[in-house]
Structure 1
């Protein structure tokens, strides 16, 4: 796994040891950023279920100003720290070991709004709809922001979740990407 483009293009990223996480492939990562970007002029990102941190690090490499990484797995948190250090992004990140819903509630209290939110929960514990509802109800997405949902291709997400609407849906084998905006 590597950084596909931007200021850290080609940097190799470690994957989380074991099989508790499923890293986003370089092909899917490149497709995601071709849809949503491909580059950013600053902005704040949130990488929930961050795993190795590949999506958030890619956003930083492509110009995001800051990314908050959240994962419940201790090995994932350690891997994110190592990958952030490898890419020399320590001053542009916050890393938290927390459950996604609790993390969202903590972020609501900070009154933050994100320009890009990556949601890549474990496919077997699919909770995207609940998370999208929380993000919508609590205005965690900036007005021009984008939510990227990565999920199993058998999952079909609704066209609208409150004020959020499905902008795009693409399938890559067993993986699907659904993009939401206001």
Structure 2
């Protein structure tokens, strides 16, 4: 029943701390797109791929006291910090969720900015299009982010780097 919850808890265990709801959404989406077995469904939203299922699962984990969510005021907005609790660690010890390469991959993604992960996840969301079409989508849908051609190329390189680490 809690297998999908345990996978998510494994991400928190690996990262130690994830700062930001948007960053968490992008880490899980990118992991799913590069072949990790996450089951959440994603739709394109204001900040790129977004999963209501993931939001609900995180809320459930907070309610079960398996992860801790700390809300901090940052200027004009709130930022959320997520960490695994002792109860969460104890639960994870009794579940068999072993996903090869997950730890190093999510730790690597967690070291990136939420802005960059938003770009990477957007590139992956439109992966059936040509690079030129993806670039056009980004310049249109993400106009306010002011991504450059160089950043888009960097995103493609990062995706390849992540996929190479899995081989």
Q: TM-score if structure 1 supplies the norm length?
A: 0.27
Q: TM-score if structure 2 supplies the norm length?
A: 0.28
Which protein shows a greater Rg?
Answer: 2
Larger fraction in helix: 2
Tell me which of the two structures has the higher relative contact order, counting C-alpha pairs closer than 8 angstroms and 6 or more residues apart: 2
Larger fraction in strand: 1
